[in-house]
């Protein structure tokens, strides 16, 4: 069977990257599973399409400069009749695939709705976190035939092999005018059993040098932060790949494609301390000419672990600090403290690691005083890079409220608020977020700028 897997456009609409900055890692896993089962697979990554004038973000003097381009994004994503959608649908229809599979995130769901209505003579399958969180609605809005819920490697193979649809676990599907949701599928326990992602299906000329180095070494997160939808796909039970299996993939990508910089996309890379120490030891023994970056919780690092990461050529560690308010941290279920953040950043700096810290403004019940606490902490930490987002109630998270739903393209954490959950009005929150973003932008460029202060209106 011929299957076309599609990543919808997002950054290519903003026009902030001349080449794609990351690969569609999830689709590459799906593709490798299908290839292993003997099917003909192709990946259409719309992030590599030249949809308009593309200016590299570095030339815009801001790492992503997405606020600058948000108006353009809204003009395209908010227009079902924009010629971009007809162009993409034409490419898809020209492939003549038996199945067209879209990976869905909430911010790209509008584009999937537009494009899927123009797909001809192919069965349409949806996967990804958005369709998993809202399977029935996703089928209704797109006209798709099937939603693959959760991990897709086993499920998509059953679909492609022609297993009776009523017997396939982990899907929602149409049966006449009705939508049926089958029994859920058990998540994959042995991640080492999965073939490596099918990077060979990508046109490597269209990606940045670092893009092929995206890698995931575990699935799942035991925590329940109210703004996160990760558990919809991976679940709360964490499953780990063995250190050897992970390093085998790194070595293969390094030797086959010359990739030297790797980035772990795990929810929390350092969750299992002993596994990380073993990984670092084995990576040093292999003596590969590579470096890597990873993410960690601020309460899941210690001096020995940081030292091991550094010695294994880790160059950057990122932390989801989220806020400078201990009250807000408690409300969101983060189970960390502001002091954890101070210690974690300090440890990394002292070991010579670059630090990237993430913050959110617009938390439920958040006040201007809470936000002032966040800007004070940003200034205090002096991380190598800081990223600030606006609270977005994504489907699959505890904050999603279908009663106040907006167009899906508006659900973007570096855009404007969908609906303020804080004590601030929508307009006021957007202004505060924009001010903080501009300040952080200057800090990231190494420019001195006074910390913004906000007066109660």
Q: What is the mean pLDDT of residues 250-273?
A: 97
SS3 210: coil
Q: What gap in Å lies between CA 123 and CA 97, rounded to an integer?
A: 8
Q: Is the pLDDT confidence value at 19 over 70?
A: yes
Q: What gap in Å lies between CA 230 and CA 169, rounded to an integer?
A: 20
2-181: which CATH architecture? 3-Layer(aba) Sandwich (3.40)
Q: Is the pLDDT confidence value at 206 over 50?
A: yes
Token digits of residue 424: 């601030």
Q: What's the mean per-residue pLDDT of the chain?
A: 93
Whole-angstrom CA distances from 315 to 32, 80, 153, 263, 292 are 30, 43, 32, 10, 6
- pLDDT-derived band at 415 (thresholds 50, 70, 90) equals confident
The pTM (predicted TM-score) of the whole model is: 0.94
R_g over Cα of the chain: 22
Residue ranges of domains in the chain? 2-181, 210-444
Of 62-76, 247-261, 372-386, 426-440, the range with the lowest mean pLDDT is: 62-76
Q: What gap in Å lies between CA 410 and CA 78, rounded to an integer?
A: 9
Higher pLDDT, 312 or 209: 312
According to CATH, what is the number of the domain 210-444?
Answer: 3.20.20.70
Token digits of residue 343: 């210690």
Whole-angstrom CA distances from 48 to 17, 20, 24, 119, 199 are 9, 6, 11, 20, 14
Q: Is the pLDDT confidence value at 439 over 80?
A: yes
- pLDDT-derived band at 16 (thresholds 50, 70, 90) equals low
Q: Is the pLDDT confidence value at 220 over 50?
A: yes
Contact yes or no for 233/221 (Cβ under 8 A): no
Of 19-33, 42-56, 182-196, 327-341, the range with the lowest mean pLDDT is: 42-56
Task: Give yes or no on whether 2-181 and 210-444 have one common fold.
Answer: no
SS3 141: helix
* pLDDT tens-place string over residues 221-242: 999 999 998 888 888 899 999 9
Nearest alpha-carbon partner for 290 in 215, 234, 360: 215
Q: Is the pLDDT confidence value at 289 over 60?
A: yes
Per-residue model confidence (pLDDT) at position 63:
37
Q: What gap in Å lies between CA 169 and CA 7, rounded to an integer?
A: 24
Per-residue model confidence (pLDDT) at position 248:
98
- pLDDT-derived band at 11 (thresholds 50, 70, 90) equals confident
- pLDDT-derived band at 406 (thresholds 50, 70, 90) equals confident
* pLDDT tens-place string over residues 89-110: 999 999 999 999 999 999 999 9
* pLDDT tens-place string over residues 333-377: 999 999 999 999 999 999 999 999 999 999 999 999 999 999 999
DSSP single-letter state for residue 2: E
DSSP single-letter state for residue 7: E
Q: Tell me the Ramachandran region of residue 68: left when phi exceeds 0, alpha when psi lies from -120 to 50, beta otherwise.
A: alpha
Q: What is the mean pLDDT of residues 382-408?
A: 92
Whole-angstrom CA distances from 64 to 408, 441, 450 are 21, 10, 22
Residue written as token pair 């009663």: 403
Q: What is the mean pLDDT of residues 8-27?
A: 87
């Amino acid at each position: 069977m011929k299957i076309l897997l599609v990543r919808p456009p997002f950054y290519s609409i903003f026009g902030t990257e001349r080449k794609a900055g990351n690969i569609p890692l999830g689709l590459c896993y799906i593709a490798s599973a299908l290839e292993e089962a003997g099917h003909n697979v192709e990946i259409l990554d719309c992030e590599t399409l030249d949809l308009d004038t593309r200016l590299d973000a570095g030339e815009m003097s801001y790492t992503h400069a997405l606020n600058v381009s948000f108006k353009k994004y809204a003009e395209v994503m908010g227009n079902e009749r924009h010629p971009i959608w007809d162009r993409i649908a034409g490419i898809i229809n020209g492939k003549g695939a038996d199945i067209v599979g879209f990976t869905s995130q909430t911010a790209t769901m509008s584009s999937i709705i537009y494009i899927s209505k123009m797909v001809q003579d192919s069965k349409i399958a949806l996967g990804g976190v958005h369709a998993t969180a809202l399977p029935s609605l996703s089928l209704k809005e797109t006209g798709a035939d099937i939603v693959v819920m959760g991990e897709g490697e086993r499920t998509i193979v059953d679909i492609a092999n022609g297993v009776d649809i009523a017997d396939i676990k982990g899907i929602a599907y149409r049966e006449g005018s009705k939508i049926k949701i089958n029994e859920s599928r058990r998540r994959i326990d042995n991640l080492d059993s999965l073939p490596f992602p099918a990077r060979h299906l990508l046109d490597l000329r269209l990606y940045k040098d670092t893009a092929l180095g995206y890698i995931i070494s575990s699935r799942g997160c035991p925590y329940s932060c109210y703004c996160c939808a990760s558990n919809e796909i991976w679940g709360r039970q964490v499953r780990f790949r063995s250190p050897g299996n992970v390093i085998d993939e790194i070595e293969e990508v390094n030797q086959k494609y010359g990739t030297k910089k790797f980035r772990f996309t795990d929810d929390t890379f350092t969750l299992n301390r002993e596994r990380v120490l073993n990984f670092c030891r084995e990576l040093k023994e292999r003596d590969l000419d590579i470096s890597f970056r990873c993410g960690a919780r601020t309460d899941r690092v210690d001096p020995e672990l940081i030292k091991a990461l550094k010695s294994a050529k880790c160059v950057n560690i990122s932390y989801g600090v989220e806020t400078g308010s201990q009250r807000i941290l408690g409300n969101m279920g983060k189970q960390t403290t502001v002091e954890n953040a101070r210690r974690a950043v300090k440890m990394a700096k002292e070991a010579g690691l670059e630090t990237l810290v993430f913050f959110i403004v617009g938390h439920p019940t958040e006040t201007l005083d809470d936000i002032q606490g966040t800007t004070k902490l940003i200034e205090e930490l002096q991380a190598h890079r800081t990223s600030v987002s606006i609270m977005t109630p994504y489907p699959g998270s505890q904050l999603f409220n279908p009663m106040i739903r907006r167009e899906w393209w508006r659900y973007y954490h570096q855009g404007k608020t969908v609906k303020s959950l804080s004590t601030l009005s929508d307009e006021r929150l957007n202004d505060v977020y924009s001010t903080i973003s501009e300040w952080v932008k200057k800090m990231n460029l190494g420019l001195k700028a006074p910390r913004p202060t906000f007066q109660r209106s």
